Amino acid sequence: MAKKLIATGYGDPSDVLEVTDVDIPKPGKGEVVVEVRAAGLNPYDVKLVRGFLGAKPENLPLSPGAEAAGVVHAAGPGSEFKAGDEVVVYPASATLAEYVVSGEDRVHRKPAGLGFAEAASLLLAGVTAVDTLATLGVTGDDVVLVHGGAGAVGSIVVTEALAAGATVIATAAPRNHDHLRAQGAIPVPYGDGLTDAVREARGDQRITAVIDTVGTDEAIDVSLELVAPHRIVSIAAWGRVDDGIVVIDGSSEQSRHHRSAAVEPLLTDAASGRITVEIARRFGFTDAGAAFDELLGAHPRGKFVFEPR
């Protein structure tokens, strides 16, 4: 038997999350069973459990977790993987568990220089970041405004936009400004006066593209003042699509292509240190509820990582 974290209802994670015993899965043809060493926790998981994305009783119990890293426990007939291989699983489901089963096409070899926690926290945010940049076609000629530049997605957007030669202005809480400056970005605080702060930060340069990772009306309103709508891409502002911005979620053919093509380069760049994955909090079965609660509130910069052992 093995342990798995589930939500038996919708609501406060501390009330609805439960550890249950399940059989260790067995792989079928084209499948791989991975012993989880680490799994990334993302805002989507918390919103799912709280019922913010819908609360249909027929979908219970929920099995959160969408990315993981670990060691192959068993592989189906004819697999290119074998027991003991260190791998990353993405896209995935039900990863807050001791074991996860996945289609082989979603299992990627983990570079030796990349830790399990970092590997488990990279791809969901990373492929989303790459998708935003590819959708806009960001180049060295661009001046890019990034809303949420210190978040999981935003920090990779900043890194990759700077690598492309773009000038980057990033909104963030003041406590993260030194970090953004060290990367080479120009930080500005969000809140009252954001439009003026961005105008001051850009100087004589014109904002040519916006990537929004927070989805607030403030972020979109300021963006619409500064750049044409067709060069504003958001991953969160679904309520503002009528304003002409582009909102992406990985569902379009173009978006799926961008994300699939980004996986191996992201793993390579993280292993080399060109992309840094910061770990803010590690948690396990016993303190999962507290971790879920903390993630949607004010918390340190970096990713939350589940470690079953």
What are 205-217's pLDDT values in tens digits? 999 999 999 999 9
CB 82, CB 27: distance < 8 Å: no
- Residue 256 reports pLDDT greater than 80: yes
Nearest-CA neighbor of 41 among 126, 124, 159, 129?
124
Residue 128 Cα to chain centre, angstroms: 7
Decide: helix, strand or coil at residue 248.
coil
Nearest-CA neighbor of 299 among 283, 276, 275?
283
CB 152, CB 172: distance < 8 Å: no
Residues listed for the chain? 309
The pLDDT assigned to 191 comes to 87
Query: If pLDDT is split at 50, 70 and 90, which confidence band does 307 have?
Result: very high
Sheet holding 186-189, edge to edge: 186-189, 167-172, 143-147, 209-212, 232-234, 246-247
Radius of gyration of the chain, Cα coordinates, nearest whole angstrom: 20
- Give the mean pLDDT of 144-170: 97
| Residue 149 backbone dihedrals phi, psi, to 5 degrees | -70, -10
Query: Which residue did the predictor score with more confidence, 298 or 37?
Result: 37
- Residue 296 reports pLDDT greater than 90: no
Query: If pLDDT is split at 50, 70 and 90, which confidence band does 157 have?
Result: very high
- Give the mean pLDDT of 177-195: 95
Domains of the chain plus CATH, in order, are 2-122+277-306 (3.90.180.10), 126-247 (3.40.50.720)
What are 89-135's pLDDT values in tens digits? 999 999 999 999 999 999 999 999 999 999 999 999 999 999 999 99
Half-sphere exposure for 118 (CA within 13 Å, toward CB): 18
Query: If pLDDT is split at 50, 70 and 90, which confidence band does 44 have?
Result: very high
Kind and range of the H or E run holding 69: strand 68-75
Which 8-state DSSP code applies to residue 59? Answer: G
The pLDDT assigned to 40 comes to 98
- Residue 242 reports pLDDT greater than 90: yes
Query: If pLDDT is split at 50, 70 and 90, which confidence band does 29 have?
Result: very high
User: For all residues of the chain together, what is the average pLDDT?
Assistant: 96
Query: If pLDDT is split at 50, 70 and 90, which confidence band does 300 have?
Result: confident
- Residue 297 reports pLDDT greater than 90: no
The pLDDT assigned to 163 comes to 97
* Residues 64, 69, 70: CA angle, nearest 5 degrees: 115
Residue 4 Cα to chain centre, angstroms: 22
What are 57-69's pLDDT values in tens digits? 999 999 999 999 9
Write out the two tokens for 125.
């945010």
